[in-house]
Amino acid sequence: MKVWLNGALVPAGEARIDPADRGFTLGDGLFETIRVADGRPCHLDRHLARLAGGAAELGIPLPMEAPEIAAGIASVLAETGLSEAAVRLTLTRGPAPRGLLPPDTPRPTLLATAAPASPSPAPARAVIARSTCRNELSPLSRLKSLNYLDGILARREAADRGADDALILNTRGRLAEATVGNVFAVIDGVLVTPPVGEGALPGIARGLVIERLSAAERPVTVEELMNATAIAVTNSLGVRPLATLEGRPLESRTAASELARMIGFA
């Protein structure tokens, strides 16, 4: 198995990340997870645009242009022979001396790896996280950063409570997102999702659902969630409906199938 590291294909066992890399020491970086179907990375232009936007906001220079990155991803897929896969693209600020202040001339690390696609998961049993919340006032809530500790804490809590996933609230006690995706709920017959200002990551699949299904963006309260008829979580790898929320049954199949069809995942 080979990976694409800083512009070159190298055996995975020989790929070396500097121990002083700020992505490792400080979580100073971004990533994209890209679905591959029939050998083609889905919505690659949107992923690369989001990566470039996040890098600009963090002040991390992209070491190469989008066509070169796309070619690197293609080389990894060709090497692995995978036609149904998930590609992980990771960008860090690169190695630097100790301290928080970034170096004046960073040497970014850019890595692409590919893994076989996972089977579609069963509808999830979900809870509302109590152990953590999303800070909708932080610019990091809009970036797909390497720091996923809020999601990890919420997912651990879900497991401890016998659930598969957790919905994370913001500091105002309203819905932000799930641990690894955006949330869409059918409330009073209308498909709604929290706006980015509520702490929702501007997900690729999220944008497609809003565009293609005219989903409404507005704040969502816990009371509304508990009265929703259907809830689904979207990310770039697919759509997962909720079977239950806090033990309350939800309609699961129809909503997820329609979302998946409109995004192009079905």
Question: Any idea what the CATH number is for the domain that residue 159 is in?
Answer: 3.20.10.10
What confidence score (pLDDT) does residue 140 get? 95
Helices within 35-183 (DSSP H only):
44-58, 66-80, 149-160
Domain count, the chain: 2
Structure tokens at 31: 């990533």
For the chain, which ranges sit under pLDDT 70?
Answer: 252-266
Q: Which domain-ending residue is among 96, 116, 136?
A: 116
Q: Is 197 found in the same domain as 70?
A: no
Going from the C-alpha of 19 to that of each of 58, 97, 138, 169, the distances in angstroms are: 21, 11, 28, 35
**pLDDT reported for residue 169:** 98
pTM of this prediction exceeds 0.85: yes
Note whether 254 and 195 are same-domain residues: yes
- 132, 258: one domain: yes
pLDDT in tens, 35-59: 999 999 999 999 999 999 999 999 9
* End residue of a domain, out of 98, 116, 134: 116
Residues 129 and 259 placed together within one structural domain of the fold: yes
pLDDT, position 7: 97
Identify whether residues 97 and 217 lie together within a single domain. Answer: no
Question: 138 and 207: one domain?
Answer: yes
CA distances from 66 to 31, 51, 89, 254 (A): 15, 10, 12, 37
pLDDT the model gives residue 85: 97
Active site (annotated) includes residue 2: no
82 plus 112 within the same structural domain: yes
Last residue of a domain, one of 61, 95, 116: 116
d(CA 263, CA 38): 16
* Cα torsion angle, 235, 78, 110, 95, sign: positive
Q: Select which of 22, 43, 50, 144 is catalytic.
A: 144
* Residue range(s) defining the domain that contains residue 20: 2-116
Each as own residue / partner, the long-range contacts of residues 206-215 (CB below 8 Å, 24 or more positions apart, any chain) are: 206/182, 206/234, 207/46, 208/43, 208/262, 208/263, 208/264, 209/184, 209/234, 209/259, 209/262, 209/263, 212/262, 212/263, 213/258, 213/259, 213/262, 215/184, 215/191
Specify the pLDDT at position 120.
86
Instruction: Identify the bridge partners of residue 9 per DSSP, sorted by sequence position.
Output: 4
Same domain, 109 and 133: no
